Amino acid sequence: MASTSNFNPNPSFLLPPPHHPKAQTHLSHNPKTLTTDPDPKLVITGGAKLSGHVSISGSKNSALSILAATLCCSGTSKLRNVPNLSDTRTMVSILRSLGAEIEFSNNELAVNADQIGSVEPDPTRIGQIRGGFFVIGPLLGRFGEAVVGLPGGCDIGARPVDIYIGGLQALGAVVEVRDNKVVAYAANGKGLVGGSFKLEYPSVGATETLMMAASMAEGKTFLSNVAREPEIIDLACFLRKAGACVEGDGTNKICILGKSRLHGIEYGLMPDRIEMGTFMLAAAITRSCISLSPVLPQSLSSLIDKLSCSGCKITHKHETMELSAIPSSCRGDLQGFDIKTQPYPGFPTDLQAQTMALLSTCNGLSLVEESVFENRMSHVRELQKLGAKIHVCGSTALVYGKEKRANLYGTNVIANDLRGGMSLVLAGLAAEGITEISGMSHIDRGYENMEMKLQLLGADVKRLDLMKSTSSN
């Protein structure tokens, strides 16, 4: 695993890009220094019951936006509970490519962005994760200009950036897309100015990016039809503690009074509600009983309601939750249910695939409708290889539970994206025999110490390092 704790005070990409007033040269990417990571496989022997306790890591998606927000701050920001994942490490590389000084160890991260020397982050890294694009907000807010490559992320749909662009224009930016890069600068030649903007769709990333930009714009900004996800509230709490005036987060309207600069603070990230939901589903699919902490149950009431109706017994006290799906302690075996993914507080798209795996083991027929991303069904083909009976029509899937005897059995499958990949892990836990999952780099983007956590719960899960097995042959 690559370490991010070796802080390099003189990165070669500290120089600004050619168009920047302070620029001379900017060479950010040297392919010779890249090493190819072997993509390990996960081998699961299904059938084990889970028991015990699992610790939930800090939120990946909060980490990505709050890391971008540290660019607004003078002095050092210290973040706690930062998950050590390939996505957070990529975000660290993106900030370092701008000149930020970062130390990252033991889930604690210190960022000092005082010496930013570039407004153009490494495009290769930006192309790897969606969250990298968020830096356009703080860069534009702080420097009045930014050049950011079009973002990457999981292959789950077109994922355009038109809403980000419309919002930045409303704050006084001129924005052009050239050579796969978004080039933006303040029209007045100085900096952003507050404005009003209604998002066409409550995009999480666009809301976060505009919140950061508005925190450093002159005057007041009114954003409406914004996303209401708990990660938005986490970002707003960070910005407020750093000196910004932000109101309305958690509702569909946010009002921000800009400040010329925020200051570095200490901040602990919220627990990852998608990891929490995934482990709840792991207990449900194996008909087991586990406890989880720390959790914020209200951040996932849509899943809790569905699982309770399905027959799971869920209790919580303070930040600890217990879920039992053992048939003798529930109302018999679990019943199927319908879900439609929607922006918060609706059912999260990031739990659709894992829930589909569970539904393939429940009684009866279930309907799964994906309404957030247009291409988030690639796990279906792999779940079918494991014996799941699923029929897809466009963005809707009909999942036939046990009535069609959909017993899962182990085989070789491929993770094509983060959450879809995790649905295969859950199915493998419940399947008869051995499931071998390749494409683990997708899953590593979002689940910290996943197999160790499953092993501690009693699952038979092993990681095979392909590089090692090839060289020993």
Which residues of this protein are in contact with ligand EPU, per CB under 6 A?
A: 61, 64, 130-131, 154, 157-164, 201, 203-206, 227, 349-350, 372-373, 418-419, 446
d(Cα 380, Cα 390) in Å, to the nearest integer?
Answer: 7
Question: Least distance from C-beta 270 to ligand EPU, angstroms?
Answer: 13
Shorter beta-carbon distance to ligand EPU: residue 14 or 424 = 424
| 312 is known as an active-site residue | no
Q: Residue 454 Cβ, how far from ligand EPU at the closest point, in Å?
A: 19
Q: Of all residues in this chain, which one has the CB nearest to ligand EPU in the complex?
A: 205
Angle between helices 418-430 and 352-359 (to 10 degrees): 20
Between 125 and 259, CB nearer to ligand EPU: 125
**Annotated active-site residue in 154, 289, 312, 330:** 154
Distances (CA, A) of 294 to 63, 238, 453, 454, 472: 16, 19, 14, 17, 41
- Burial of 31 by CB count in 10 Å (0-12 exposed, 13-18 middle, 19+ buried)? exposed
Shorter beta-carbon distance to ligand EPU: residue 195 or 343 = 343
CB of 14 vs ligand EPU, minimal distance in Å: 26
The answer for residues whose C-beta is within 8 angstroms of residue 302's C-beta and 6 or more apart is: 345, 346, 347, 348
Q: What is the closest distance, in whole angstroms, from the C-beta atom of residue 59 to ligand EPU in the complex?
A: 9
Amino acid at residue number 185: Y
Report how far residue 435's alpha carbon sits from residue 433's, in angstroms, rounded to the nearest whole number.
Answer: 7
H helices within 411-465, ranges in order? 418-430, 440-444, 450-456
Q: Give the type of residue at 79.
A: L
Least distance to ligand EPU, CB of residue 296, Å: 16
Whose CA is closest to 279, among 446, 435, 82? 446
Say which residues have a Cβ less than 8 Å from residue 6's Cβ, sequence separation at least 6. Answer: none
Active-site residue numbers? 154
